[in-house]
Amino acid sequence: MSMVCLSDFEAYAKKYLPKIAWDYFAAGADDCTTRDENILAYKRIRFRPHMLRDVSVMDIRTKILGSEISFPVGIAPTGFHQLAWPDGEKSTARAARAMNTCYIASTYSTCTLEEISTAAPGGLRWFQLYIHRNRAASQQLVQRAEALGFQGLVLTADLPYTGKRRDDVRNGFRLPPHMKVKNLERAFEVCKMSFLDPSVTWNDIYWLQSLTRLPIIIKGILTREDAELAVKHGVQGIIVSNHGGRQLDEGPATIDALVEVVEAVRGRVEVYVDGGIRKGSDVLKALALGAKCVFIGRPALWGLAYKGEEGLQDVLKILQDEFRLSMALAG
């Protein structure tokens, strides 16, 4: 196939991944309304372009929490990359380093934090954390990540329980026997996340701050009120996210929620967004509405499914080129 846009990678992944893996990556909660709305909301936003601007030279670099990246697209935390490619998260880390951007490694990686770190030394990596009932295990993960040179801690706030993803229930989704969630000591069953701690509150931000010097970014914020609480509790960044529409269905699309979060924050912390980014023009829309950077989830997995590290680099290069072109054409 000639890979021209991200939809081409999606079509490839849907055709060649095992159905149970495709269904897991594609799943949204309940009717998938929010999952689909994440994409549709971008299509309703229109540019007001300016003409006769000198766009012969453009600088698309940016900084997130002081670290420079080549363009404002990073890789969001997603689990189980070995379902898409044998090298799993090691390939993801290498692609991110090659493209000089940020990769947020998931708690539910099929490679260890040590393997991810060794695969791409010097790369910009943040670690995404779920707080478990066993707080000692969560503490150990945070301290391992810091010791390995991860540069940010991303707390996912929107998963006290797992959303109902119907295809996963129908398929009885489990990881294949040869794959493990390497950062957790005991066997993991995705449909029985009983070890997640549903009692987590804003006060646990203070607990995390007592464990680490890493900046804390909170992921899953969708409202003005929660954005203000995040600032009050001393986080350094917010990722406006609805978990790719995999948790509470019929909540807002993330690009719509971004506007009120940015207004509430008033520049006090950096704001990022994920969910529904499929074109370089989507990246420009998110930046125009106040995001510092966007993160991609499913498209990264499609790239891995295509050609591993090389395929993910291709996805990022297409977004980079489309973003640069959209900037130029918008003046």
Residue 50 tokens read as 């300016």
Binding site members for glyoxylate: 24, 165, 243, 246
Res. 194: pLDDT tops 60: no
* pLDDT band (50, 70, 90) for residue 189: very low
Res. 177: pLDDT tops 60: yes
pLDDT in tens, 95-145: 999 999 999 999 999 999 999 999 999 999 999 999 998 899 899 999 999
pLDDT of residue 14: 98
Res. 41: pLDDT tops 50: yes
Is residue 1, in this structure, part of any structural domain at all? Answer: no
Tally of domains in the chain? 1
Respond yes or no: is residue 178 known to be catalytic: no
Cα–Cα separations (whole angstroms), residue 164 to 26, 29, 141: 13, 5, 27
Q: Is 220 left (phi over 0), alpha (psi -120 to 50) or beta?
A: left
Is residue 52, in this structure, part of any structural domain at all? Answer: no
Res. 176: pLDDT tops 60: yes
* pLDDT band (50, 70, 90) for residue 227: very high
Is residue 54, in this structure, part of any structural domain at all? Answer: no
Is residue 123, in this structure, part of any structural domain at all? Answer: yes
Range of the domain at 30: 6-47+63-330
Cα–Cα separations (whole angstroms), residue 289 to 177, 284, 286: 44, 9, 5
Binding site members for FMN: 77-79, 106, 128, 130, 156, 219, 241, 274-278, 297-298
Is residue 277, in this structure, part of any structural domain at all? Answer: yes
Residue 195 tokens read as 């070890």
List the catalytic residue out of 81, 132, 233, 243. Answer: 243
Q: What is the mean pLDDT of the chain?
A: 96
Mean pLDDT of 226-255: 98
pLDDT of residue 190: 43
* pLDDT band (50, 70, 90) for residue 229: very high
- The pTM score is 0.96
Is residue 25, in this structure, part of any structural domain at all? Answer: yes
Res. 235: pLDDT tops 50: yes
Binding site members: 24, 77-79, 106, 128, 130, 156, 165, 219, 241, 243, 246, 274-278, 297-298
Q: What is the dihedral of CA 51, 57, 58, 61, to 10 degrees?
A: -170
Q: What is the identity of the amino acid at 211? A: L
State percent of the chain over pLDDT 90.
94
Res. 188: pLDDT tops 50: no
Q: What is the CATH number of the domain that holds 254?
A: 3.20.20.70
Is residue 55, in this structure, part of any structural domain at all? Answer: no
Is residue 53, in this structure, part of any structural domain at all? Answer: no
Q: How far apart are CA 331 and CA 324, in angstroms?
A: 11
Residue 11 tokens read as 């079509």
> In a 3-state reduction of DSSP, which class is residue 232?
helix
Residue 300 tokens read as 């990264």
Q: Which residues of 41-72 are buried (b: 16+ CB within 10 A; e: fewer)?
A: bbeeeeeeeeeeeeeeeeeeebebbeeebebb
**Radius of gyration of the CA atoms of the chain, in A:** 19
